[in-house]
């Protein structure tokens, strides 16, 4: 029985159902490891200049590329190294621990955030910055969040998680709106009449901007919800734009749009 089949046995005992996909975690290369390819290329050039056996050049180049690719696929020494997605949840494989399972119903929220690294490359006079990110999963039982980094096809994994928990999140947001008349998210609150913001002056009451003033809702590059408003004569003075930092930003954005649509 292979490793994946062993994990499937664990998942079956936990009621996870059929396996859908496998995602691997790879550690980032150290600076010294990045030097493998240049050193191999130098060796190729030196060998060609000294011996001139052109037949060996593609072979040595292939070895260099193979070493480079192999280094990029080295699993982490600690932490999670595999994430298996099943019909009813997730299974996390640690390097030195028993696999941990998490049912979809036990996932409270998730959030994928991309960050910019400080490594810059210049090509053709254009300077660009590499990007990396992390995916955070919050269990509903109050345990610490699970933070994943350097997952191959991480965006695909994040989309799958959000797709599975989205109906339940939407239902809970609507239930909170029905029960309380509002859904607080950080400093703002979504109501049936519009969005309420804290006043600039703490001694003043909050400001309610009705739905007619909401111009745009979209997801920012940092995975937050960006709200843009248009000022109207005689309307309460509020912010022209506001960023709401919330897990599963796409779900919250769609909830705002649905609430506004029902009010109109």
| Other residues' Cβ atoms within 10 Å of the Cβ of residue 47 | 14
**Closest listed residue to residue 10, CA positions, set 82, 105, 108:** 82
Q: pLDDT by residue (tens digit) across 122-171?
A: 444 444 444 557 899 999 888 899 999 888 888 899 999 999 999 999 99
Percentage of the chain exceeding pLDDT 70: 69
Q: Is the dihedral of CA 135, 138, 144, 146 positive or negative?
A: negative
Confidence of residue 202 (pLDDT cuts 50, 70, 90): confident
Q: What SS3 class is residue 140?
A: coil
Task: Tell how strand 80-86 and strand 89-94 pair up.
Answer: antiparallel
Helix crossing, 249-263 with 154-180: angle to 10°?
Answer: 40
Q: pLDDT by residue (tens digit) across 25-48?
A: 876 555 444 455 565 666 666 666
Position 121 scores a pLDDT of: 42
Higher pLDDT, 115 or 136: 136
User: Phi and psi at residue 84, in whole multiples of 5°?
Assistant: -105, 130
Position 26 scores a pLDDT of: 77
Instruction: Assess whether pLDDT exceeds 50 at residue 79.
Output: yes
Question: How far apart (Å, rounded) are the C-alpha atoms in residues 234 and 210?
Answer: 12
In angstroms, what is the C-alpha Rg of the chain? 25
Percentage of the chain exceeding pLDDT 90: 36
Question: How far apart (Å, rounded) are the C-alpha atoms in residues 91 and 19?
Answer: 10
Which residue's structure tokens are 């029985």? 1
List the domains of the chain with CATH numbers: 181-263 (2.30.29.30)
Question: How far apart (Å, rounded) are the C-alpha atoms in residues 3 and 9?
Answer: 10
């Amino acid at each position: 029985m292979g490793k994946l089949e062993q994990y499937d046995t664990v998942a079956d005992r936990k009621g996870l159902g059929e396996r859908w996909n496998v995602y691997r975690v790879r550690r980032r290369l150290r600076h010294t490891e990045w030097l493998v390819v240049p050193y191999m290329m130098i060796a190729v050039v030196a060998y060609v200049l000294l011996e001139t056996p052109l037949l060996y050049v593609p072979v040595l180049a292939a070895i260099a590329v193979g070493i480079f690719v192999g280094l990029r696929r080295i699993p982490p020494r600690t932490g999670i190294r595999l994430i298996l997605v099943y019909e009813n949840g997730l299974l996390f494989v640690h390097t030195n621990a028993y696999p941990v399972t998490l049912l979809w119903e036990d996932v409270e929220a998730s959030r994928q955030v991309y960050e910019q690294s400080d490594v810059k490359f210049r090509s053709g006079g254009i300077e660009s910055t590499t990007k990396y990110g992390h995916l955070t999963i919050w269990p509903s039982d109050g345990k610490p969040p699970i933070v994943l980094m350097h997952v191959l096809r991480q965006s695909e994994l994040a989309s799958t998680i959000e797709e599975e928990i989205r109906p339940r999140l939407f239902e809970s947001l609507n239930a909170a709106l029905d029960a309380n008349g509002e859904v607080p998210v950080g400093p703002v609150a979504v109501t049936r009449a519009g969005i309420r913001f804290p006043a600039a002056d703490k001694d003043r009451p909050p400001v309610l901007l009705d739905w007619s003033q909401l111009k745009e809702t979209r997801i920012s590059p940092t995975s937050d919800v960006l709200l843009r408003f248009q000022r109207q004569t005689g309307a309460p003075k509020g912010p022209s734009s506001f960023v709401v930092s919330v897990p599963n930003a796409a779900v919250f954005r769609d909830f705002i749009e649905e609430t506004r649509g029902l009010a109109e």
